[in-house]
Structure 1
Amino acid sequence: MKSQSLGNIRRSFAPWADPSSKPFISFKNVTKRFGTFTAVDDLSLDIYHREFFALLGASGCGKSTLLRMLAGFEQPTEGEIVLDGADLAGTPPYRRPVNMMFQSYALFPHMSVEKNIAFGLRQDGMPKQEITERVLQMLQLVKLEKFASRKPHQLSGGQRQRVALARSLAKRPKVLLLDEPLGALDKKLREETQFELMDLQQSLGLTFVVVTHDQEEAMTMADRIAVMSQGKVVQVATPGEIYEAPNCRFVADFIGDVNIFDGKVISSADGRTEIATADGITIRTSGSSAPPAGSEAAFAIRPEKVRVTREPPGDASVNAARGEVWEIAYLGDMTVFHVKLPSGKLVRASLLNAQRSVEDPFGYDQTVWVSFAEDAGVLLRA
């Protein structure tokens, strides 16, 4: 176990921002068709050495197909995939310096934990003594030394996940591919394992590429995320950039919860843009690249950046609206309010429960004001 937090390491790791850095994995204009269906559509993407990279998207967006092409289980219809300077075209899966961990774990039920981990090493003809040493290293790495002789059915879901991980790492691949690796775990164990995977990836110095539809999982583990839709990459950025500065409506709507107001730009000058929304609100925003006056636009703001008050803010002419408390959800750490505006639009606001008791809380059907700061949201081109 490392004695140092990963925070400083992860904050300083950004090879994609260095023009002199060369990608470790490159997808170059890759297309994959299954008959008339295009699963991956002319996709180009770079991943760097030692990066924890996430492919995120809804089912059918092409993320698993992309992973399988990198592993060699599928071949591109067009384009090329380069790993560590070598074109992978024609290279069978067993000769690629990658290993893949499947969602089902695919453990051999009749083999013990140590034999499951050793399987690939035996297939490669590694000497017996080296296999024994390597298996012991992997058992120590995933903290399963006491379970070496058990069969998979004698383990918990989290322990089976660790066995599959150890087996994938035993051959010391250059890249570890993880296809929905935590999907079979319960919520609490999944959250614990996310941090364990991050620690493991950093200590081994490997490149991890994970496929997931779980936004929170990708946001927690990845250095960068590629959001995919219909076989294309829509945005590639760090978790913070994806969340706070989505480059389009799809990403804003797909990642986390968001309120989106549609409207028309009425002015844009001195770094400020004003929008007249269809809900009768005038929104003033700053710091965003704005389309010209008269054009359609959308404004996205996260629920935690929306204030809810009984009294109107100092200037209620912009970034504010009166409404009724329509729904309340108490989630422990926060309370979520749905405030219904006169137009019928529901605005979602998340308020942190910083104190154990709440005095005079908002109630159903109560008239309140929702408001937000100029720099709290992001302007999106419609």
Structure 2
Amino acid sequence: MPSLGSIRRSFTPWEDAGAKPYISFKNVTKRFGDFTAVDNLSLDVYEREFFSLLGPSGCGKTTLLRMLAGFEEPTEGELYLDGQPLKGVPPHKRPVNMMFQSYALFPHMNVADNIAFGLRQDGMEKSAREERVAQMLKLVKLEEFARRKPHQLSGGQRQRVALARSVAKRPKLLILDEPLGALDKKLREETQFELMDLQQQLGLTFMIVTHDQEEAMTMSDRIAVMDKGIIAQTGTPAEIYEAPNSRYVADFIGSVNILEGKVVSSGDGHVEIDGPDGKFVGAVRSHAPADGATAWFAIRPEKMRVSREKPDGVDNAIKGEVWDIGYLGDMTIVNIRLESGKVVQAAMINQSRIVDDPIGYDEHIWLSFSADAGVVLDR
């Protein structure tokens, strides 16, 4: 299947059969007693990639990164960085730095000393160390805060100090475990783009753990969605969002409507599904379910159109009743109760400031969507 897009369109080493992975997990399993945190997982990440591990709490994301950093050893399987096996290599000898959600800054040290700490531990000569610290302060725009203590900084500033300290030693790989979790929404959104710019400037490979879907979608070249110690799907943000391979992935990334039914017929990359609310046609991204099999059609709320009259010349139209309305400023979210009793969601962009004759509660309306607006799933 051709790529549905990525943040950097020209950067797609995973599509090159000859490209060598920078990080490789090969059949890695990690058990804690009777609990399997990571289950026979294989994954390749490429140099200079901004790669996100996304999933609910307890799915194995952080355990995967801790094995890469050297804080945990795999129970089974092999782990490679830049072609070199990491088994038995202690954390301080790996060209890897890990930035934690708590930032773990030294409260008794000022900003400059916090950034210089790792360089001093490595025995870097004083003048070179001071030059490197100055470079890092400039990079994260904190030159005027060099003599302040962590408690004198805002949450966003402390986050940037931790980031500067993490990259000061010029690691080959920077691991970030929920790095923006302590920031408020607006600052988190601003910092996402700062992280992307910083990663590009330094030319590093970033692996980030997050449970925030928007964060992963914004920053990543690729995303691996995890579930109970396995990878459910790996792809670019657009591939994960527009072409999920299962109901789990579709439901985990953003809002989605999932319509269930039996396959009536298939052909030319589409299937006809007969469900409780009538027949409709959906697109198949991989292989078509067999006739008579249960299938699910996943469609995002913004792909659904709402109208009072049944539209002409569309692939699919379903009748329903307006159940709830949520005005969000840039868009209006409408929950529609179908004749079967199922409630689905449509998103209407508010393109003008004044809306004449808006859709209201309890109105009987039509939902329409094209066959290619969603994807048919068989699991």
1:368 aligns with one of 335, 347, 365: 365
Matched, 1:356 2:353: yes
Q: How far apart, CA to CA, are the structure 1 residues paired with 2:8 and 2:278?
A: 41
Per-residue deviation at 1:10? 1.3
* Residues 42 and 287 of structure 1, relative CA distance in 2, 3 Å threshold: closer
Matched, 1:61 2:59: yes
Query: Which digits, 9 at most, give the CA deviation of each residue in 1:141-198, with x for residues without a partner?
Result: 0000000000000000000000000000000000000000000000000000000000
| Residue 41 (structure 1) aligns with | 39
The letter of the residue matching 1:207 is T
| Residue 203 (structure 2) aligns with | 205
| Residue 105 (structure 1) aligns with | 103
Query: Which digits, 9 at most, give the CA deviation of each residue in 1:245-290, with x for residues without a partner?
Result: 001111011100000011110111233310001x222111235431
Q: How far apart, CA to CA, are the structure 2 residues paired with 1:8 and 1:334?
A: 25
Per-residue deviation at 1:322? 1.3
Contact 1:260 1:301 in 2 (8 A): yes
Q: How far apart, CA to CA, are the structure 1 residues paired with 2:353 and 2:290?
A: 48
Q: How far apart, CA to CA, are the structure 2 residues paired with 1:129 and 1:209?
A: 31
Per-residue deviation at 1:321? 1.4
Per-residue deviation at 1:323? 1.1
Contact 2:21 2:45 in 1 (8 A): yes
The letter of the residue matching 1:116 is N
Matched, 1:321 2:321: no
Q: How far apart, CA to CA, are the structure 2 residues paired with 1:242 and 1:77?
A: 30
1:81 aligns with one of 79, 82, 97: 79
| Residue 271 (structure 1) aligns with | 269
| Residue 243 (structure 2) aligns with | 245
1:233 aligns with one of 231, 240, 263: 231
Per-residue deviation at 1:9? 8.2
Q: What is the aligned-residue identity percentage?
A: 70
Q: How far apart, CA to CA, are the structure 1 residues paired with 2:171 and 2:200?
A: 14
- Could you list the structure 1 runs, at least 4 aligned residues long, displaced by more than 6 angstroms after superposition: none
Instruction: Provide the TM-score with structure 2 as the length reference.
Output: 0.97
Q: Could you say what secondary structure the match of 1:11 adopts?
A: coil
The letter of the residue matching 2:318 is A
Contact 1:285 1:379 in 2 (8 A): yes
Q: Could you say what secondary structure the match of 1:250 adopts?
A: helix
The letter of the residue matching 1:374 is A
| Residue 129 (structure 2) aligns with | 131
* 319-328 or 107-116, which deviates more: 319-328
The count of corresponding residues between Structure 1 and Structure 2 is 374
* 268-277 or 208-217, which deviates more: 268-277
Q: How far apart, CA to CA, are the structure 2 residues paired with 1:271 and 1:231?
A: 32
Q: How far apart, CA to CA, are the structure 2 residues paired with 1:157 and 1:315?
A: 53
Contact 2:6 2:236 in 1 (8 A): no
Contact 2:259 2:298 in 1 (8 A): yes
The letter of the residue matching 2:358 is P
* Residues 9 and 359 of structure 1, relative CA distance in 2, 3 Å threshold: closer
1:156 aligns with one of 154, 157, 163: 154
Question: What is the root-mean-square deviation of aligned Cα atoms in Å?
Answer: 1.3
| Residue 24 (structure 1) aligns with | 22
Q: Could you say what secondary structure the match of 1:10 adopts?
A: coil
Q: How far apart, CA to CA, are the structure 1 residues paired with 2:270 and 2:175?
A: 44
Contact 2:277 2:338 in 1 (8 A): no
* Residues 198 and 305 of structure 1, relative CA distance in 2, 3 Å threshold: same
The letter of the residue matching 2:345 is R
| Residue 261 (structure 1) aligns with | 259
Q: How far apart, CA to CA, are the structure 1 residues paired with 2:284 and 2:365?
A: 28
The letter of the residue matching 1:326 is W
| Residue 3 (structure 1) aligns with | none
Contact 2:7 2:219 in 1 (8 A): no
Contact 2:6 2:221 in 1 (8 A): no
Q: Residues 162-173 of structure 1: matches in 2 within 5 Å?
A: 162-173=160-171
* Residues 285 and 187 of structure 1, relative CA distance in 2, 3 Å threshold: same
Per-residue deviation at 1:8? 10
| Residue 92 (structure 2) aligns with | 94
Contact 1:281 1:319 in 2 (8 A): no
Q: How far apart, CA to CA, are the structure 2 residues paired with 1:255 and 1:63?
A: 16
Q: How far apart, CA to CA, are the structure 1 residues paired with 2:371 and 2:6?
A: 31
| Residue 52 (structure 1) aligns with | 50
The letter of the residue matching 1:286 is A
Q: Could you say what secondary structure the match of 2:373 adopts?
A: coil
The letter of the residue matching 2:344 is V
Q: Could you say what secondary structure the match of 1:39 adopts?
A: strand
Q: Residues 262-341 of structure 1: matches in 2 within 5 Å?
A: 262-277=260-275, 279-288=276-285, 289-314=287-312, 319-341=316-338
In structure 2, the gaps of 5 or more residues are none
Q: How far apart, CA to CA, are the structure 2 residues paired with 1:343 and 1:285?
A: 19
Q: How far apart, CA to CA, are the structure 2 residues paired with 1:57 and 1:42?
A: 17
Contact 2:263 2:273 in 1 (8 A): yes
